[in-house]
């Protein structure tokens, strides 16, 4: 193999390797970013749950105080109101929890999708680089076989699309 073919092939191989490595790092970073975003969503959800619990407890406390200060026994309507407040408080918390779970899952999925995309780009770069490196070598072998015959002609002309059929 002559220097005219070897040097561009080596440079192309190095460039392919650097690009593929960058795409691999992008894949890792995307996955990590998705995980970090999901953790941040989970932390925010916990914060919002705490806030909502405080609000709900305050509402229920005010209702109990109103009943207690009115000399009304906590039976019938006041008891039903307290039960309804407790039920609504649980629904509020469940909605916040579920929203946080869905958002965190979406963040993770987005990170995994971006990572998968970067990996596919990396594989494409590697395959394209292999073709870029191999094409001049195959053309050189093909030219040599046409001039002098030999086993190299069995490779066919890959660039012409014959797929190895000479």
35 near 108, Cβ under 8 Å? yes
**Residue at 56 is within a domain:** yes
- Model confidence at 154: pLDDT above 50: no
**Residue at 137 is within a domain:** yes
Local structure of residue 155 (DSSP, 8 states)? G
**Residue at 7 is within a domain:** yes
pLDDT digits over 37-86, tens only? 999 999 999 999 999 999 999 988 888 787 777 666 666 687 788 888 89
**Residue at 105 is within a domain:** yes
**Residue at 91 is within a domain:** yes
**Residue at 49 is within a domain:** yes
Report which of 17, 27, 48 is spatially closest to residue 133, judged by C-alpha positions.
17
pTM metric for this prediction: 0.63
**Residue at 163 is within a domain:** no
Q: Which residue has the tokens 């509020």?
A: 92
Range of the domain at 9: 3-151
Task: Give me the number of domains the chain comprises.
Answer: 1
């Amino acid at each position: 193999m002559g220097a005219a073919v070897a040097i561009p092939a080596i440079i192309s191989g190095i460039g392919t390797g650097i690009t593929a490595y960058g795409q691999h790092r992008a894949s890792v970073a995307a996955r990590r970013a998705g995980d970090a975003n999901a953790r941040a969503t989970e932390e925010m959800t916990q914060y919002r749950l705490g806030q909502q619990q405080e609000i709900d407890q305050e509402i229920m406390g005010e209702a109990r105080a109103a009943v207690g200060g009115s000399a009304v026994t906590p039976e019938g309507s006041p008891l039903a109101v307290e039960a309804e407040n407790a039920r609504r408080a649980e629904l509020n918390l469940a909605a916040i929890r579920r929203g946080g779970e869905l958002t965190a899952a979406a963040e993770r999925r987005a990170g995994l999708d971006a990572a998968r995309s970067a990996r596919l780009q990396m594989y494409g770069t590697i395959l394209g680089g292999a073709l870029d490196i191999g094409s001049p070598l195959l053309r050189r072998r093909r030219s040599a076989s046409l001039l002098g015959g030999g086993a190299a002609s069995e490779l066919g002309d890959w660039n012409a699309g014959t797929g190895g059929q000479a």
